Amino acid sequence: MARQSFSDEQILAALREAARICGEPLSHGTYDGVARQVAGPSSARIIQRFSSWREACSAAGVTTTATSRRYTPKWDGTSVAAAVAQYLSSTGSTGTYADYQAWAREGDGRPSGATVRNVLGRWNEAKTAALSL
């Protein structure tokens, strides 16, 4: 099946029609629910073309939902290092990354292995940070 190409004006017309049908403000999720009905592309394609959902809606003269709240990380370096330290001092700890991951899954409120790496770097760096607390 060939991919359909949409002009900017066709996209803007689809956004206006979706807003007429669904009301405003128009979210990309709401739009996707009627995209076929309004003969428009997916919201992902619209964002790709206009750089953002807000820009596309603005160009169409359609109001959109408020910007999502900013993400506030749950874990900082100190709290992640403290969790690794708790793991290292736990009974049966082998000190390996795989063992840490299993330990993290067993308890509520423990950062995942991926979070440890994202915040502290390599596993050996995470253990060094934990031992320096």
Ranges in the chain, pLDDT < 70: 1-3, 67-72
**58 and 74 in contact (C-beta within 8 Å)?**
no
| Residue 65: predicted pLDDT | 81
| Residue 5: predicted pLDDT | 86
Give the three-state DSSP class for 64. Answer: strand
- Domain positions in the chain are 8-60, 77-131
Whole-angstrom CA distances from 2 to 5, 42, 82 are: 9, 15, 54
Torsion over CA: 27, 31, 32, 34 (sign): positive
Please name the residue that has the structure tokens 């160009």: 59
